[in-house]
């Protein structure tokens, strides 16, 4: 008789996942910030000659603020990952460690 049991990832696997997601968020936030800075600079430089570059002055700061928010989120995610510790055996198997 077979049972279909779902295998839960080990604690170290979940920590690894959280570190990878924090690094991905950091990379995404920096990329969004750089794209926003590029658009804003491009708009400042080309707008006096061509009025069609006005949207870059509007979209650039929005991307910079979204990128900054994502960067702050990644710092929080990485910090929370560093604070976590593996579960103690006493917490998992309390009846085994009872001395009473």
- Three-state DSSP state, 43: helix
pLDDT at 81: 64
Better-predicted residue by pLDDT, 34 or 87:
34
Cα torsion 77, 83, 87, 91: sign: negative
Where do the domains of the chain lie?
A: 23-82
Radius of gyration of the chain (CA): 24
Q: How many residues would you count in the chain?
A: 100
d(CA 97, CA 82): 28
pLDDT at 45: 86
Rounded to the nearest integer, the mean pLDDT of the chain is: 78
User: For the segment 2-50, what is each residue's pLDDT rounded down to a tens digit?
Assistant: 555 555 555 556 667 777 888 899 999 999 999 999 999 988 888 888 8
Is the pTM above the cut of 0.85? Answer: no
């Amino acid at each position: 008789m077979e049972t279909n049991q779902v295998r839960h990832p080990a604690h170290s696997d979940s920590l690894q996942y959280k570190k990878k997601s924090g690094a991905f968020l950091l990379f995404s936030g920096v990329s969004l910030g750089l794209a926003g800075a590029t658009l804003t600079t491009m708009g400042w430089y080309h707008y006096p000659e061509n009025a069609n570059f006005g949207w870059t002055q509007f979209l650039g700061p929005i991307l910079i603020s979204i990128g900054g928010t994502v960067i702050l989120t990644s710092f929080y995610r990485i910090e929370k990952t560093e604070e976590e510790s593996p579960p103690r055996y006493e917490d998992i198997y309390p009846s085994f460690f009872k001395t009473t």
